[in-house]
Amino acid sequence: MKLEGRAVVIARDNVDTDVLYPGPYLNVTDVETMKPYLFEGLDPSLRAELGGDTALVVGENFGPGSSREHVPQAMKAWGIQFLVGRSFARIFSRNCLNLGLPIVTCPEAVDAATPGSIIRFDLVEGRLQGPRQRARVLGVGYDGVRAGHRHAAGFVTVQKGSARRSRRGRGEGQREEEDG
């Protein structure tokens, strides 16, 4: 499965779920109705940048705080295809995996991304291609729904076209430079 997204950049570290989706809106259970509250405590104007072709680019330790499934649910409802970050909080990573929202840890891609740049992520090959680089990402290349069911013990490591289980379970990947 290949995904492509237009970068929407949140150039901040330690962005917690309490600002991504504030507590007063947790009683909303319909995902379409959740959309107007995403980023409400961070920067509501970010919603104007979202669409069905979004790759959300984030900083270090994205998503700590409360275990709010509303965040990845609302992100999917807005059409966020995948997230690329320096690192992700463990609970956020697990919520994304459970809900089928792909995430990839690749600091170099975060550095290279600019608002509107195109990022491609091949979930099967574990390949991430940003504006200035191509990299094979190990430890997080997965189709969150299909691989999550097949490899319930943790994240899937994609390496040279074959999947195997990863015992890391932290949602943080390693990357390996690729020639060509």
User: Which two tokens mark 11?
Assistant: 């150039």
pTM over 0.85: no
Mind listing the pLDDT tens digit of every residue in the chain (180 residues)? Answer: 889 999 999 999 999 999 999 999 999 999 999 999 999 999 999 999 998 899 999 999 999 998 889 999 999 999 999 999 999 999 999 999 999 999 998 888 899 899 999 999 888 777 888 776 655 554 443 433 333 333 333 343 333 333 443 334 444 444 444 433
- Give the single-character DSSP code of 112: H
In the CATH hierarchy, which fold is given to the domain comprising 2-177?
Aconitase; domain 4 (3.20.19)
Residue ranges per structural domain of the chain: 2-177
Q: Which residue is listed with tokens 């059409």?
A: 79
Which residue spans within 123-171 are E strands per DSSP? 127-129, 134-138, 156-159, 162-165
